[in-house]
Amino acid sequence: MFCNEIRSCPGAYHYPGFLTPSVQCDVSAHIIKIIQQAPLFVSYMPRTGVPMSVRMTNCGPLGWMSDKALGYRYVNAHPETLLAWPAIPSPLLEIWDALTQYPKPPEACLVNLYDLEAKMALHQDRDEIDLSAPILSLSLGFDCRFRLGGQKRNDPSSTFVLSTGDALVLKGPARRCFHGVDRILPTIGAALPPPLGDLGVRVNLTLRRVS
């Protein structure tokens, strides 16, 4: 498998087209089932209460969320249904094992659904206790312009395109790098398969260890 190490950010590895079209369809079917069990919801910025432009849900023992009162955190149940999150599908666990070689399985898989106007500001993933564990990101649907910086918000950053089927692993020093999505780049032929495509244009799956 081809891997592109991001020179500007040691420990960041981009795997273009890692998920074959058939695997993408299989993963999409699992995502639909997850959304049926744990409906999409909106998280809110701490303190300000500004809604985030990306709708989300989770699977795994833990799920990530944020609201005005308590801020960023992991919880063991859906904030609206109060039911436990669905299990992480086995294909995602297999991809985690193949690309991270980490000895412990992920505890949370964030399912972020983008529309054409959605974006994600530069941020660090630092709500986890175990910051030595890698982060695995999987892209489905329309391309996005992804920004990757350093370990300080004002460090220089660079951009590259994440397309459907791409995988991105952040480990080592890259685990603490700021990153975000500048914009969605609609691409012919890269639409999400129905019925997932009826909900949005891009899905990002982020698998993480927490404890």
Reading phi first (left if > 0) and then psi (alpha if -120 to 50, else beta), residue 181 is in beta
pLDDT at position 40: 98
Q: Which domains does the chain have, with CATH numbers?
A: 4-208 (2.60.120.590)
Check: pTM over 0.75? Answer yes or no: yes
The pair of structure tokens assigned to 5 is 């190490």
| Mean predicted lDDT score pLDDT of the chain | 94
Q: What is the pLDDT of residues 20-61, one digit of tens each?
A: 999 999 999 999 999 999 999 999 999 899 999 999 999 999
| pLDDT > 70: percent of the chain | 100
The pair of structure tokens assigned to 57 is 């849900």
Residues 6+ apart with CB under 8 A from 169: 12, 13, 15, 99, 100, 134, 135, 136, 137
Instruction: Please give the Cα distance from 88 to 207 (Å, whole number).
Output: 9
Instruction: Please give the Cα distance from 166 to 12 (Å, whole number).
Output: 13
Closest CA to 8 of 170, 204, 129, 132: 170
Q: What is the pLDDT of residues 56-84, one digit of tens each?
A: 999 999 999 999 999 999 999 999 999 99
Reading phi first (left if > 0) and then psi (alpha if -120 to 50, else beta), residue 144 is in beta
pLDDT at position 171: 95
Lowest model confidence (mean pLDDT) among 14-18, 132-136, 137-141, 194-198:
194-198
Instruction: Please give the Cα distance from 24 to 72 (Å, whole number).
Output: 29
Confidence band, pLDDT 50/70/90 cuts, at residue 89? very high
Q: What is the pLDDT of residues 124-150, one digit of tens each?
A: 888 999 888 999 999 999 999 999 998
> 179-185 and 41-44 as β-strands: parallel, antiparallel, unpaired?
unpaired
